[in-house]
Amino acid sequence: MIGNRINPLANRPSAELLDRMRVLPVANISDVMARLEAGGPRIRPLHTGGALCGPAFTVKTRPGDNLFVHHALDLAEPGDVLVVDGGGDLTNALMGEMMLAYAEKRGLAGVVLNGAMRDYGYIRANSFPVYAAGITHRGPYKNGPGEINVPVAFDGMVISPGGIMVGDDDGVVCVPLDHALATVEAAEKKQSAERRQMEAILEGTNDRSWVQQAIANI
């Protein structure tokens, strides 16, 4: 029944694929996915440094309630990214210092929260990846309902359980598992091309003729 589903995370990407994805800029991944996937500008990094990469262990909860977030922390496996859809509501913080310390102790790769965090000083002082839509001191309720490992969506970006969450200073993106290999290959090519372009910029040899050509074609 909707409202109480607790599903296992059946599919996880290989360690090799995650290692390749982890070193790629989120912007490059976004570009090769046609710039159609984005979790919205509110989902921002709160931690100090530290890249995010791992399969999404998703939670859908009633705004202001974190009972199923607690349950997910006990079920997720090392390397998973806890992805919580709290409806984008910022009235109550769904996680804070103690829950994040527990997540890190259990070996999770990070947390992405469509909702509010608290204990910002703790988060900011650490490198454990934390992305959220806001901050508030007001705490949560623990009554449910909620669901675990069901598809969720942040500003139109659909996150299915097991999809690869990648985050850096620019925000987060979810790469669907079925498209992960093609995406990483395309993003690697783009990153190589951008390195060559940067070298040309620094050497003063970059070709800017495309600008005038584009203007002429307007």
Q: Alpha helix locations (H) across the chain?
A: 15-22, 26-32, 67-75, 97-105, 120-124, 180-203, 209-216
The annotated binding site for Mg(2+) is made up of 119
Distance CA 8, CA 11 (A): 9
Binding site: what residues are annotated?
96-99, 118-119
Q: Would you state the structure tokens that stand for residue 81, as one six-digit string?
A: 């990214």
Q: Using CA atoms, how far apart are residues 148 and 129, in angstroms rounded to an integer?
A: 21
Residues tagged in the binding site annotation for substrate: 96-99, 118
d(CA 57, CA 84) in angstroms, rounded, equals 8
